[in-house]
Amino acid sequence: MPSRRFFAILIPWVAAIAAAFFVSLHLGRVSTDLTRLLPRGDAPEEQLLLGQLREGPATRLILIAIGGGDTQGLAAISRRLQAALAADPAFSLVENGSLRLDDPRLEALFPLRYLLGPDAACREDLRGVRLRHALQARLRELSGPLPPPDKNRLAADPTACFRALLQSWRPATEPRRMRGVWFTRDGTSALLVAQTRAPASDLEGQQRAVNAIRSAFARTAPASRASLTLTGPGYFAVGSRDAIRAETTKLSLLGSLLVLLILWAAFRSPWLILLGALPLASGILAGVLAVQGLFGYLHGIALAMGLTLLGVALDYPLHVISHARFGPHPELGGIWRTLFLGVLTTALAYLALTLTDFAGLAQLGVLATTGVLIAALTSRYLLPPMIDAVPRRKGERALGLALSIRMPAPERLGLFLGGVASIILLVVLTIHGLPWETDLRRMSTVPAADIALDQRLREELGAPDVNRLFYQWADNPEQALRRQEQALPALEALVAEGRIQGFEAAARYLPSTETQGRRQARLPAAESLEADLEQALQGLPFRRDAFAPFVADVAAAKGAKPATLASLGGTAAGAEVASLLIPAEKGWLSLVPLIGLDDGGQSASIPPPGMHYIDLAAASSGLLDRFLGETLAKLEISAAVIWLVLLVGLRDLRRLGRMLVVISLALQLDLVVIILLDGRINLFHLVALLLVLGLSIDYSLFFTRPGQTPDERATTFTALVLCALSSFAMFALLGLSSIAVLHAIGATVAIGIALAFFLSWLLAAA
């Protein structure tokens, strides 16, 4: 049992950690939105891109496929599921392709038909001989083999204006329809699309929506063989959060257990093991609080990566404890200078991240730098008196001495190996090309198979390419719609020329108030319509008063208030308009997604006057390119600073040279192994390499410590073995994960640790 002095420090320390934890929870908005990692773009193009990525209506889509069963059974489930979800307030729209002519949502549009519908059936047919032709057409339909589907509306709509309106809204491409609902082309799965009200970044909302779909499916398809498949950005976000949460918990529990075993083998004291954990906990909480204080929120990914980078801080207490317990001199004087140099250089490397204008990376930098410094300071000033207060056991030094094996190697070997590693790296880079991952989607945490499935369903549903579009800014919806109306002829011309197969535009669904006003003026006055109708009815078998509702509706439409975004309400058209006309900070953004663009690389030159072209995929990969470039540039600066600090701190060029050989060898070989294993280098690999940098500085610094007695060397060696073993155990477990992010980080760091440790041992041991 330690003395009272131990608890006199422990209790306030743990209390401070607990307090910090609660403050952080209280402050704590943790954001999990991937796009927040990216910079706040200044150019409207980047704003557009980020807006699309963040909240765009396309990100609120959940694609649903129901497979496993006969067509009829699947269609029936699709109908019941559609009905159940449409009634759920979590969804703004649920479509399965069924033609529900009595859909109550359509009723809201019926009175608006003369303002929204196409010219021919909704205005031109209301006069003179054209009205008579329309009536004759209806008569033919009524006497045909099947009554027209809008038969019940004909009294109020004899020119079939509403039918023509809905026809004009029909999407350019539609999925195959079987048993009246959407199916995949091979007919094996029924398809539905649900749009959530919650944005994709609202994971709780997305989770509720996904749960609603699952439970509705369980209710509508009880005891059937049918299976439910979901894809979509929100669904993936929920899934990856859950998967990462579960996997991280499992692996870190296992990892902690392993580390505990290793430390137990070394220290044989629960109190010392506790001391090993306290600086790391303090560092993490200090880093989190610093980020929350500076940024107002903490990004989930910054937190996860920050915890990774702070892996290096586990080493500090291990060095301190090892030297205090096993070393010949209990006081820290000797190693503090070495440790301090390691801390300083690692902190400098991490600090470089804060210089980027990518918010997520800046957070990561602040978190890691603060964490490393706090962990080092607490190790230095709080641990020693506490270690002293823990009673020594007999034979405590045995382990340290037993592990002391020297591996002397000729100095030239390092240079030789360095040269070989550089050549290998060059060869690998030549074969693989520049392996930076610039595709945002592939950087996501979603398994590749799910992304492929998502793309297939999107294609089946005939969704337009959301990556390539025209856009335009306006001060208000009316202005946006008017500008779009002016561009419509040019857009139609592009279709006619075959440059694009089609396009979507808000003005197609919702004409501007100005246009609607002109249309109202063109509607016939009641007296004139009545006269024309009487003329048109001559000799036809319709009842004289059959079309009184028609006359009343035209008169009402002539005096009605023009339709707005709100009038389209919960209809598919309303959802479409809402996704194409988006309120933003600096005004209204109208989007014109292009279908089947065949540009031959000339896309930038084809937008109609006043519109701009953007390829979101190209823009996002450009952004990521810039991001990686910027990160690397900052790392070059920090590498120079680190080199200077080491030079000043060590005042020993030879030692510095040996260290640099080890560090660069470890990083280069690690990079080669990652490229060979994963094919590409992504952001997560890069962050993991930063940790490897920090660790290899630490290992090489300690291995190259000059002027040590054999006892001191043995102690240093023991400490390094403990550091490397425990970190390796932790990250090697992560590397076994099937989740790409965890695997990337774990494998990179574990391989890096092994390389840095053995290279330091081999090449740097003084």
Partner 1 sequence: MSFGQTPKGRSKQLGLGSVLIGLLLSSPTFAAPPGDLSELMAQLAEVRSVSARYTETIQVSLLEHGIESTGTIRYVAPDTLIELVDGEPPREIRIQGDRVRISEADETHEIDVGEHRAIESMVAALRSVFTGNLVELERHFHVRFERLGPGKVGDGWHLTLTPDDAEVAWLFSRIEIRGSGREIHRIEIREPNGDSRTMRFEHQEIDSPDG
Judged by the rule CB under 8 A, the positions of this chain that interact with partner 1 are 72, 79, 95, 98-102, 137, 139-152, 154-155, 163-164, 166-167, 169-170, 177-181, 541-543, 546, 571-573
What is the nearest approach in angstroms of partner 1 to the Cβ of residue 542? 6
- Which is closer to partner 1, CB of 183 or CB of 336? 183
- Which is closer to partner 1, CB of 83 or CB of 490? 83
- Which is closer to partner 1, CB of 154 or CB of 262? 154
How many Cβ atoms from other residues are within 10 Å of residue 158's Cβ?
24
Q: Read off the DSSP letter of residue 546.
A: T
How many Cβ atoms from other residues are within 10 Å of residue 42's Cβ?
9
What is the nearest approach in angstroms of partner 1 to the Cβ of residue 82? 11
- Which is closer to partner 1, CB of 164 or CB of 474? 164
What is the nearest approach in angstroms of partner 1 to the Cβ of residue 743? 44
What are the tokens at 165? Answer: 């309106």
* C-alpha to C-alpha distance for 726 and 488, rounded to whole angstroms: 65
Long-range (24+ apart) CB contacts under 8 A made by 294-299 are 294/366, 295/359, 295/362, 295/363, 295/366, 296/29, 297/29, 297/30, 297/31, 298/28, 298/29, 298/30, 298/31, 298/363, 298/367, 299/30, 299/31, 299/32, 299/33, 299/36, 299/37, 299/359, 299/360, 299/363
CA-based nearest residue to 287, from 352, 350, 355, 379: 350
- Which is closer to partner 1, CB of 165 or CB of 491? 165
H or E element in which residue 228 lies: strand 227-231
* C-alpha to C-alpha distance for 146 and 149, rounded to whole angstroms: 9
H or E element in which residue 178 lies: strand 176-178
- Which is closer to partner 1, CB of 34 or CB of 154? 154
Q: Read off the DSSP letter of residue 173.
A: S
- Which is closer to partner 1, CB of 151 or CB of 214? 151
- Which is closer to partner 1, CB of 165 or CB of 301? 165
- Which is closer to partner 1, CB of 168 or CB of 520? 168
* C-alpha to C-alpha distance for 55 and 439, rounded to whole angstroms: 19
CA-based nearest residue to 667, from 762, 758, 756, 760: 756
- Which is closer to partner 1, CB of 100 or CB of 197? 100
CA-based nearest residue to 661, from 476, 322, 411: 411
What is the nearest approach in angstroms of partner 1 to the Cβ of residue 479? 27
- Which is closer to partner 1, CB of 300 or CB of 574? 574
What are the tokens at 675? Answer: 């490229």
- Which is closer to partner 1, CB of 100 or CB of 337? 100
Q: Is 82 helix (H, G, I), strand (E, B) or coil?
A: helix
**Angle between the 740-759 and 233-267 helix axes, to the nearest 10 degrees?**
30
- Which is closer to partner 1, CB of 187 or CB of 517? 187
- Which is closer to partner 1, CB of 593 or CB of 746? 593
- Which is closer to partner 1, CB of 72 or CB of 455? 72
Q: CA gyration radius for the chain?
A: 34
What is the nearest approach in angstroms of partner 1 to the Cβ of residue 73? 10
What are the tokens at 541? Answer: 């078998």
Residues 6+ apart with CB under 8 A from 366: 287, 290, 291, 294, 295, 354
CA-based nearest residue to 680, from 432, 445, 440: 432
What is the nearest approach in angstroms of partner 1 to the Cβ of residue 551? 14
What are the tokens at 74? Answer: 């699947």
Backbone φ and ψ for 254, nearest 5 degrees, come out as: -60, -45
Q: Is 591 helix (H, G, I), strand (E, B) or coil?
A: strand
Residues 6+ apart with CB under 8 A from 340: 376, 380
Instruction: Report whether 608 contacts 490 (CB < 8 A).
Output: yes
How many Cβ atoms from other residues are within 10 Å of residue 458's Cβ?
19
How many Cβ atoms from other residues are within 10 Å of residue 96's Cβ?
27
What are the tokens at 556? Answer: 């009402």
What is the nearest approach in angstroms of partner 1 to the Cβ of residue 363? 45
